[in-house]
Structure 1
Amino acid sequence: MTDSKGRWPKTDPDSGVEDAVLLILEWLGEQGVGAMIRVDAERFQAGLPVWTFTAGGGPLARGMRADGASAGECLSRGLIRLREGGLTVPF
C-alpha cells in the first residue's frame, strides 16, 4: 500500500512491464538493490494476490513489498513504490 490512506496505486496493464522483468531486476542489482519476484501457490488457493515483488538495500532507505494478481500488476506496483522510495527505474 502507499501512503495514500491504504488505496492501491493505479497500474497500467498494457505497459509491457512483464517483458522487462529481468532487465529491471538486473538494473536494480547494479544499483545495489536486492530484489525478487515470486508466485505463491498457497495464496492462490486462498484467493489472495499470488505475485510478490520485494526490494531492499542500496539507495532505498527501507525495504519494500508489492503484491498483485498478475506478474505485471505486481511489478507495476513495485515500480511505483520504488519511485516513492526515491529510485526511478528507467523502464
Structure 2
Amino acid sequence: MARPRNRLPKSDPDSGIEDVPLLILEWLGEQGISALIRFDAQRPRTPWTFTAAGGALLHPIRNDAASADKCLNNGLALMRKQGINVPF
C-alpha cells in the first residue's frame, strides 16, 4: 500500500533528537519572546542563526555561528546580558 502524500511521519521518541532546544524555544514563547533558530545552506561559514525579540527583551538579538550548539549558546548569553535567564 502506498504511503499517503503530504503527511508527516509520526515522531519517534527514541530518535535521539535533543529536546533542550525545543524546550528553550517553548519557554521563550511562554515569556512572550519570539525566537527562531535557522540553518541557511547559502552561508557555509556561519549557516546557523538564532534570533529573539519581544517580551522582556530590551533589544532584539541575533547571533550567527558555525554550529547549532554555538549559535544557541551565544544567543542565550546575549539574552542573559539583557536579564533573561533561560532555566535550561
Q: Do they fold alike, i.e. is TM over 0.5?
A: yes
Unmatched 5+ stretches in structure 2: 1-17
Tell me the percent identity: 58
Q: For 1:85 and 1:41, locate their aligned partners in 2 and report how far apart those are by CA, in whole Å.
A: 30
Aligned length: 71
CA separation in 2, counterparts of 1:82 and 1:62?
9
- In structure 1, the partner of 2:27 is 27
The 1-side partners of 2:39 and 2:64 are apart by 10
Unpaired stretches in structure 1, ≥5 consecutive residues: 1-17
Q: Matches of 1:43 and 1:68 in 2, distance apart?
A: 10
RMSD in angstroms over aligned alpha carbons? 1.0
Q: Which of structures 1 and 2 has the larger relative contact order (alpha carbons within 8 angstroms, sep 6+)?
A: 1
2:49 is matched with 52
Whichever of the two has the greater Rg, that structure is 2
Q: CA deviation at 1:86?
A: 1.0
TM-score (norm 1): 0.75
